[in-house]
A and B are shown apart, each in its own frame.
Chain A
Amino acid sequence: METGFTSAEKFFSRISGHEARSGDFVWGEPDMAYMHDVLGPLTLDTMKKINEDNVRFRGRVVVVNDHIYPPKDTTSSNNIRYMSDFARKEGWDLVPFGEGIEHTLLIEKGMIKEGMVVVGTDSHTVTAGAARAMGIGLGSTDMAALLSLGKTWFRVPETTLLNVTGNRKKYVTGKDLILKVMSILGTNGANYRSMEFNIARECNLNTDDDLSIANMTVEAGAKTSIIFNRSKTTDFRNLQSDEDSAVTEIKIDISEIDPLIAFPYSPGNIAKASDYAGTHVDQVYIGNCSNGTISDLREAAEMMDGRKVKDGVKAIIVPATRNIYREAIKEGLIDTFIDAGATVSPPTCGACAGLHMGVLAKGEVCITNINRNFRGRMGDPESKVYISNSYVAAASAINGKITVPGA
């Protein structure tokens, strides 16, 4: 019996040069590989052990120093120096310092394009799905072997197809959609799989929502993701799963979703945000590779406009890229944040990964629009992190407790 191809099968067939079916092991050459200043140095160390003088990978290699940028100490500074010197020596693309967080930035710059297969030394490489590319996270040694060998191996993932319809309520965003998906799949319901979204035009989700959705697919275990959002274009037949392909389908009506929250210590712990209304917060952190977009900043500014951050609360806003930062200045959003008493940070992975610029103290509670709330993720193991959309996080900064606008 002949069956059509899933989206993942189409992508992996192209890069392997053979018909690739779900479950097959294939060798292939991705179109682009990128790495950063925290997991990159181990890649370079390993490359030296394999075959330093012979980089066989023919695709584009990009280095983004974003995780601990600006460097916080001599060790992180040395790491950035190591990455940058190596990139220059090899003739790789070294993204100018401070331009932004890699997953958001490389899409914004048009370096990650529709139809590409990209790999990165970071689990949130799945964010490429927002550009209708397939992004796959690799470990440092896998990246080193890919650069040395010119190819790497993949197990072609099975596909979970999420069909999303309905009109969303006010204050519901793409973040709530992906949190809803987490409540269905849990933290490993898409393990080893590709998550393909088919989002109806009526959902009225924009490309920034797509970033937020694609980014957190890895929290359900996904190997890769791809987002077909019909608010812009409708014909994705070349890339999407054929109607007669083997997929597991899930239907979601976004009109039934209220603002959601992931409570400690797992992005799979999902409840209505209103269930946690009134919970005291010490810190509010808005912006990372999933939700540091201009849409997020607009949503946050809408909540903070003309108001003041509650006394004793640390409110930290992190535009994901320099261009987003500039646009926020033009629109007056940065003025709104400063007037409200928030701190605006340069683009960096920062405290989202517990690295710098807002690390939590013992016992502190943070509400944020980032992607992970594991124990100790943003600092002390005794701190607590709640994940929500940007409206809820910003409204909570004003009240000093978890607040759902419109509720």
Chain B
Amino acid sequence: MSRVFILGDDVDTDAIAPGGYLHLPLEEQKKHCLESVVKDFAGSVKDGDIIVAGENFGSGSSREQAPLLLKDLGIKAVFAKSFSRLFYRNAINVGLFPGTIKGACDFRNMEEVHFQMEANRIISQNSELDIAPPQGIALEILEAAGMIDYARKLITRD
């Protein structure tokens, strides 16, 4: 089971990984992840939690620290009605699953849900939500646990 953080539209990468801390080590950056959106996010997030957001999740900067911090803090997967291109690609590269929501989300904030990856579905006690996983090369990279291992495999194969 996962707890779900419900977020709105246009959650940008400055909110996820604030610019003022970007030059610092990841451990330091983590403390400020989503701090302007969710009170004490870094302190309250638990391993296995998920995020369900609205349109255009991860807009703005190309900073890969955004999906990296979420993953390092224990976020297992991020679901949104739509993603900004750079966040989507970066999430796949660092091995954080980005699922696109199909239909309306009825989950309550911090409700316990279960992400059934094989069925492309998230279920709670009262509701369920279909999702679309990444396709093509993106899915291959995700299945290799991220771009580092995928690239290493390509190099070995050549």
Residues of A bordering B, CB below 8 Å: 25, 37-39, 42, 46, 49-51, 54, 67-68, 73, 75-76, 79, 121-123, 125, 137-142, 144-145, 148-149, 153, 187-188, 191-192, 219, 221, 223, 266, 268, 353-355, 359, 372, 374-377, 379, 381
Contacts and interface: CB of A to CB of B under 8 A. Distances in A.
A192 B56 CA distance: 11
Contact of A221 (B85, B90, B146, B152): B85
Contacts of A39: 22, 62-64
A351 B60 CA distance: 16
B155 A149 contact: yes
B85 A355 contact: no
A67 B20 CA distance: 11
Interface in B48-92: 55-56, 59-65, 82, 84-86, 89-90
Given A353-B19, A374-B14, A142 B89 contact: yes
Contact of A49 (B55, B61, B148): B148
Contacts of B120: none
Contact of A376 (B15, B23, B93, B137): B15
A136 B12 CA distance: 19
Interface of B: 10, 12, 14-15, 18-20, 22-24, 35-37, 55-56, 59-65, 82, 84-86, 89-90, 93-94, 136-137, 146-148, 150-152, 154-155
Contacts of B152: 50-51
Interface centre among B19, B20, B36, B94 (most CB of A within 10 A): B19
Contacts of A54: 155
A358 B82 CA distance: 33
Contacts, number: 131
Contacts of A354: 14, 18-20
B23 A75 contact: yes
A91 B64 CA distance: 26
Contacts of B61: 122-123, 353
Contacts of B89: 138-139, 142
A153 B151 CA distance: 12
Contacts of B22: 38-39, 353, 355
Interface centre among B56, B136, B151, B152 (most CB of A within 10 A): B151
